[in-house]
Amino acid sequence: MKAAVLYEANEPLRVEELEQQSPQTGEVRVRMEAAGVCASDHHVMHGSALLPTPVVLGHEGAGVVEEIGPGVTAVAPGDRCILSFVSNCGHCRMCRSGSPQLCDTNAQTGTLQFDGTSRLRNGEGTEVFQMAKLGVFSESIVCPEQACLSVPDNVPMEVAALIGCCVTTGVGSVINQPGIEAGARMAVFGCGGVGLNVIQGARLLNASQVIAVDIIEHKLRFAEQFGASDTVDATASDPIEAIRELSGGGVDFAFDAFGSAETLSQAVDSLGKNGTAVMVGLAPVGDRTAIDMVDLVRNQKRIVGSYYGSGSPHQTFAKMVDFYTRGKIDVEALITRRHPLEEINEAFERLAAGEDGRGVIVFS
């Protein structure tokens, strides 16, 4: 089967034939149908996030279970599934304390399966890793059964794929965030796949104001479709001043969906008293930011991280499926372009060029 492999940072992905071992105990083989093109893959391609190589990228996907290994009970062949980029072991401290998205065993085994081995080899017999135990830029994947959540037939596979990362990460960061009341004023930095879903989440919770911030004008217009009530072009005006003015002194919640030292510090500065900055986007590994510490204390501000929607991925997936089927969130409108696997590098160029919405790799 064919997959897109990263051999070295800053080189194009190579679409090549790989050898795939069949699913082992607790694992399944999934034929991929759709895979989203996400900035987190792009960070790895450009060396700002580190994974061992060679590695098949892709962590936002959906497909159909074709084969199950011994002991699998969660899914059966023929099941249509959303794939989680965190498989939870069920017995570590994080899994047992209700935060399976932070599973320790998953983090320790990383790009290998739970038994510490890989299912992929290239033509030269070299072991190939799978991003997040998935590597969905691949015609087929072997992954833990815990990655799979079956979805009904009325959820299109492209929609299911996006629920696997950007929808759950964005909407979940709002709806699973404690302390948000109807009528809250919010700002969202970055209007990419995750940011647009933070905006949809804010609309779901009846925020009175959702201020979208970006450096590309057409992305701000696109964000209005998903519920942005005001927009700030950060190249034309100082976003902190603009947000403070639009919200009458600062917002209650500011989400950094972009992920950088600069945007997080701007998010904190644009808060009003008792405000919370939520860091959702992934900044380059090792980056740190400067915070006005007196402002933090005197104005009782909070800064929190949000990973994978701040909750159990499967629980949040199920909510997203429900919101989607009841017409409360719009996932189709996020999808603005489709590519075959062979065009994967072009798909990432279009992401990097700042095009609106999400690109999806579709498998025929």
Active-site residues: which are they?
38, 40, 43, 59, 165
Angle, helix 168-175 to helix 193-204, in steps of 10 degrees: 30
Torsion of CA 105, 107, 111, 117, to 10 degrees: -20
Residue 247 tokens, joined:
């919200």
Closest to Zn ion by CB, 94 vs 240, is 94
The full length of the chain comes to 364
Q: In the bound complex, what is the minimum distance in angstroms from residue 239's beta carbon to Zn ion? A: 24
Q: In the bound complex, what is the minimum distance in angstroms from residue 221's beta carbon to Zn ion? A: 23
Q: In the bound complex, what is the minimum distance in angstroms from residue 89's beta carbon to Zn ion? A: 4
Closest to Zn ion by CB, 233 vs 355, is 355
CB 346 within 8 A of CB 359: no
Q: In the bound complex, what is the minimum distance in angstroms from residue 328's beta carbon to Zn ion? A: 22
Q: Which of 130, 138, 126, 134 is nearest to 16 (CA)?
A: 138
Question: Which residues here bind Zn ion, judged by CB under 5 A?
Answer: 38, 40, 60, 88-89, 92, 95, 103, 105, 165
CB 104 within 8 A of CB 93: yes
Residue 127's DSSP bridge partners are 121
Closest to Zn ion by CB, 136 vs 213, is 136
Torsion of CA 272, 278, 279, 281, to 10 degrees: -110
Closest to Zn ion by CB, 97 vs 364, is 97
